[in-house]
Amino acid sequence: MANVRNTARPLSPHMSIWKWGPSMAASITHRVTGSGLATVGTILFVWWLVALASGPAAYACFLDLFTVKSGALNIVGYVFGIGLTYSFFQHLSTGVRHFFLDQGANFELKANKTTALLTYVAAILLTIAFWGFIIWGKTNG
Amino acid sequence: MGNGTSIGKVRGLGSAKEGAHHWWHQRLTGGANLILTLWFVLSIALLPAYDFETVRHWLAQTQVAVPLILLVIATFYHFRLGLQVVIEDYIHDEVHIVLMVLLNFFTLTTGTLAIFSILKIAFTAGAAL
């Protein structure tokens, strides 16, 4: 079988010996947020659509999990809401950075590191902007 | 396989001849998702309220239901390709095949449910439930 490894041979450089840095973090964050969106995000998105299609009772059941009686988010709503929006903006930022890497650009050490860090800044700012608008932007408007 | 010389074994395995296609579709859907998901997140943020009637009324419009169906197709295909890479990178034994089958079932089931729900809302929004 092709997956039987010859243990006499050394392994290639691997997780345990890499030094953590922004580039490596951006790569693994892209994968983790993508996997989270694909599983948790998909299930909640489809549940939301099915509830909307099923009727007011099903939709109320969906909303009840994430909101208190007044309609404001409860702790579950905040954890999933902020978790998913941050994951979305993070995956989007690292995804856009990935498009440049795919072109063979942005491999200079300094620029690569800077843009890796910028994906986190962008994702956090966009998440704050989104929730700031949802929570405060409308009550005044 | 397994009885030949080292070079013979490598030649026998060869490439799957699908790598470039997978890679390219991941990028194509990535580009589509960039536009579709930003539209979706912005539209959700701009909704005046999130009660049943408001959201349903919004979603039932053609100019919302159609992009939302496109979003489901593009994002679900994208995550199907992405999770395939995650499975292939970390699972090397036969469990890999089971997980790939489960991934395909998951993608098709959730995708069908999503599109059916959008169409149902769009076609019945005016009618009594």
Check if B77 contacts A (Cβ < 8 Å).
no
Length of chain B: 129
Whole-angstrom Cα distance, residue B107 to residue B79?
A: 8
CATH architecture of the domain with range B6-125: Up-down Bundle (1.20)
Q: Which residues of chain A have pLDDT under 50?
A: 1, 141
The pLDDT value recorded for residue A141 is 46
> Is the pLDDT reported for residue B111 higher than 60?
yes
Encoded tokens for B123: 């076609």
Decide if B32 contacts B70 (C-beta within 8 A).
yes
Length of chain A: 141
- Name the pLDDT band for B127 (thresholds 50, 70, 90): low
Q: Write the pLDDT tens digit of every residue in B2-37.
A: 567 777 767 766 677 777 899 999 999 999 999 999
Give SS3 for A92.
Answer: helix
Contacts of B27 in chain A (CB under 8 A): 99, 102
Report the Cα A76 to chain-centroid distance in Å: 17
Q: Which of B40, B107, B37 is nearest to A96 (CA)?
A: B37
Q: CATH assignment of A23-134?
A: 1.20.1300.10
Contacts of A38 in chain B (CB under 8 A): 79, 82-83
From the list A3, A38, A130, the residue facing B83 with the nearest CB is A38
Contacts of A86 in chain B (CB under 8 A): none
Whole-angstrom Cα distance, residue B112 to residue A46?
A: 10
Q: Write the pLDDT tens digit of every residue in B75-92.
A: 999 999 999 999 999 998
Q: Is the complex ipTM higher than 0.90? A: no
Whole-angstrom Cα distance, residue A37 to residue B40?
A: 15
From the list A42, A59, A98, the residue facing B79 with the nearest CB is A42
